[in-house]
Amino acid sequence: MSSAIIAVLTGDLIASTDQKASVVDTAMGRIRVAADPVAGWPGNSDTRFTRFRGDGWQVCLAAPQYCLRAALFVAATLRADDIRMETRISIALGTADSLGTADLSDASGEAFQLSGRQLDSMSRTARIALTGTGIGDRDRIIARQMFERASRWTQPQAEAMALYLHPDNPTLNDIAERLGITPQAVNYRLGGGGAVNLRTNLQLWEEVIEDELAKRHA
């Protein structure tokens, strides 16, 4: 078993039984699309996106400090679409025995167990839960506050936030070019979404978690 700490994100779509199968498939496709670029974030590798039980999904992060950013990125990507579906996300930091063979369906270890069990215990109204190595009540409060803000993003705000959340800190011009709008319009969207405070707080939290995990691994 590796002693390295990873992050596992396990989620399921909310009220998926009320939707057509095609809508659920589209939502899962959007989550897969969100998981792909996360693999290119610093210190990460293949997130091994895996779909479970129709409306369930799971990814893993080799750089666990990015777990909240990745969860917000998934939420923003879904909210930016017009399918109007949301997902609950259970995050766990811990070790892994195996990352599975073809995908995470046969993965095993502490992080996978904690993430899955936590999702099962989440209330239907909850959107985010956080547990595992180095995680305390402070971190859970921070996660809930961030997701409470994200739950109020409009579709245009979420579209801009999904780009803004990249760890490379894209500029207004970068985002404007991707969206085909003016930098002023991007600034308006991000301002309404509380982008600056969110990104600053994310960066601070990531630094604290990375330092905490490094000390435990030393």
- Indicate if the pLDDT at residue 165 is higher than 90: yes
pLDDT at residue number 83: 82
> Taking the model in full, what pTM does it have?
0.94
Please classify residue 71 by burial: count the beta carbons closer than 10 Å to its beta carbon, then call 0-12 exposed, 13-18 middle and 19+ buried: buried
Contact 53, 97 (CB under 8 A): no
Contact 94, 114 (CB under 8 A): yes
Q: Which residue has tokens 């961030």? A: 146
The percent of residues in the chain predicted with pLDDT above 70, rounded, is 99
Question: What is the pLDDT averaged over residues 91-98?
Answer: 97
pLDDT digits (tens, 9 = 90+) for 106-148: 999 999 999 999 999 998 889 999 999 999 999 999 999 999 9
Contact 80, 27 (CB under 8 A): no
Contact 132, 114 (CB under 8 A): yes
- Angstrom distances, CA of residue 80 to CA of 71, 102, 132, 179, 185: 14, 30, 30, 12, 16
Q: Over the chain, what is the mean pLDDT?
A: 94
pLDDT at residue number 218: 63
